[in-house]
Chain A
Amino acid sequence: MKKKLAIITIIIAGSILWVLTALAVCLRGTQTLAFTDTVQEAGSGVTYVKRSRTPVDFLPVGNECEFEITVDGPEEIVPTISISLESSKAEPIFTKTAKNGTFKTGKLNVGNKKIFLNFDYEPLPELDENKDYSVRYTIELTSGNYALYNSIMLTLAAVCILPLALSIAYLISLNENNKKAFDERQMKMRGKAAMTTMIVVIATALGLGWFSLIYNDFPLSAYECLMIIAFIGIATFAITADRYDAYMGLSNKRNVIAVMFSIIGILDLVIFFSTLRLIRNGAEVNNRIDSLVQGICCLSIGVEVFIKNIQNKKEALEDEES
């Protein structure tokens, strides 16, 4: 009974911790956006050659926010930056003509509405016709609302750590008292699974390295690559070891393990796809591909353990009947 309670506590506290931390990371109090615009004097005025982001907008962040904008471009280009609410064509609540450097907008009353940033360029006499001018903008948005969400979610997440740690410690102390029973075949199969895992991990590492060499804009950071390799390794070992009936120490906990991994996997995928939707709607939030890989790996382990459990039961039943 105590053991079941400890397992349930781990699942619930772990899930809450996972979701709240992920949300807190996604909805950070400060959002940063960096992009480059390329413009050209075309006789009738300054026109865009390339816009890396259209429109430049942010989802509602509460009633008050502040922007810190850095402009980095050639001296001949002087952009006028205006901020409007709900639509890019609405009356601006803030306008500034900015030369190279960083400026702050001060606290803006945005009334929890969608925020649009517009960039206009005056045709100056010193501009060469048909020459491309690139201007890089770094925009940092700080809002009390997101910061509040962030701190509330992190506080709630921290509350879950204590029961989680206590339950894990209790389960570990239980396992120490149990004598582990495994046989020669199971150990041999574990070695086979480890070998398969090693091959897959090396292939993944080489594959990622190869892609990073081929593509100049390789989207993954070193941390994300490491996480992807680690999770693919864990999933490969868990799945192959279980398929080979190697020793896993799961004999009586198969259903709990299957449910736990499936929940973690589904949560990861839900978080990844909801963040993807936020990004499509224009929000600049963190979305890391490693959470997608993590979700797929955890879900695969959960499904495999569940299927293998059914197969084992069926096999044992067939043996008893024959």
Chain B
Amino acid sequence: MKNLKLKAARAALDLSQQDLADKVGVSRQTINAIEKGDYNPTIKLCLAICKALGKTLDELFWEDE
């Protein structure tokens, strides 16, 4: 399932996948895979992404019913 919230939060800060990847310390392909829903990140990586984007876990990773 695509993570459109993450993509939207990233776009709101005008960050490219590479910029976010650099901030979090992962590869661009990993951010791309999370956004496309191809990869389920660990809680550690989720927290790092949330901190980089100034969002909470709920806001980025909670799946709406």
Q: Taking the complex as formed, is A316 at the interface, i.e. its CB lies under 8 A from any CB of chain B?
A: yes
Instruction: Determine which residue in A183, A245, A247, A322 has the highest number of CB atoms from chain B within 10 A of its CB, and name it.
Output: A183
- Docked pose: A88 CA to B35 CA in angstroms: 74
Residues of A near B11 (CB, < 8 A) are 322
Instruction: Determine whether the beta carbon of A185 is less than 8 Å from that of B30.
Output: yes
Residues of B near A181 (CB, < 8 A) are 25
Instruction: Determine whether the beta carbon of B33 is less than 8 Å from that of A245.
Output: yes
Instruction: Determine whether the beta carbon of B17 is less than 8 Å from that of A316.
Output: yes
Residues of A near B29 (CB, < 8 A) are 185-186, 245, 312
Residues of A near B26 (CB, < 8 A) are 183-185
Interface size for chain B: under 10, 10 to 19, 20 to 34, or 35 or more residues? 10 to 19
CB neighbors of B among A283-322 (8 A): 312, 315-316, 319-320, 322
Instruction: Determine whether the beta carbon of B16 is less than 8 Å from that of A184.
Output: no
Q: Taking the complex as formed, is B45 at the interface, i.e. its CB lies under 8 A from any CB of chain A?
A: yes
- Docked pose: A312 CA to B41 CA in angstroms: 21
Residues of A near B17 (CB, < 8 A) are 316, 319
Instruction: Determine whether the beta carbon of B25 is less than 8 Å from that of A183.
Output: yes
- Docked pose: A67 CA to B41 CA in angstroms: 71
Residue of B nearest to A184 (CB): B42
Q: Taking the complex as formed, is B3 at the interface, i.e. its CB lies under 8 A from any CB of chain A?
A: no
- Docked pose: A245 CA to B30 CA in angstroms: 8
Residue of A nearest to B32 (CB): A315
CB neighbors of A among B18-65 (8 A): 18, 25-30, 32-33, 39, 41-42, 44-45
- Docked pose: A186 CA to B32 CA in angstroms: 12
Min CB gap B21→A, angstroms: 9
Instruction: Determine whether the beta carbon of B25 is less than 8 Å from that of A185.
Output: no
Instruction: Determine whether the beta carbon of A245 is less than 8 Å from that of B27.
Output: yes
Min CB gap B16→A, angstroms: 5
Min CB gap A108→B, angstroms: 66
Min CB gap A82→B, angstroms: 70
- Docked pose: A186 CA to B45 CA in angstroms: 13
Instruction: Determine whether the beta carbon of A185 is less than 8 Å from that of B18.
Output: no
Instruction: Determine whether the beta carbon of B18 is less than 8 Å from that of A316.
Output: yes
Residue of A nearest to B39 (CB): A185
- Chain A 206-247, CB-CB to B under 8 Å as 1, else 0, gives 000000000000000000000000000000000000000101
Instruction: Determine whether the beta carbon of A184 is less than 8 Å from that of B32.
Output: no
The 6 nearest A-B residue pairs measured at CB: A183-B26, A245-B29, A185-B30, A319-B17, A320-B16, A185-B39
Using a CB–CB cutoff of 8 Å, the interface residues on chain B facing chain A are 11, 16-18, 25-30, 32-33, 39, 41-42, 44-45
Other CB < 8 Å A-B pairs besides A245-B33, A316-B16, 4 of them? A181-B25, A183-B45, A185-B39, A316-B17
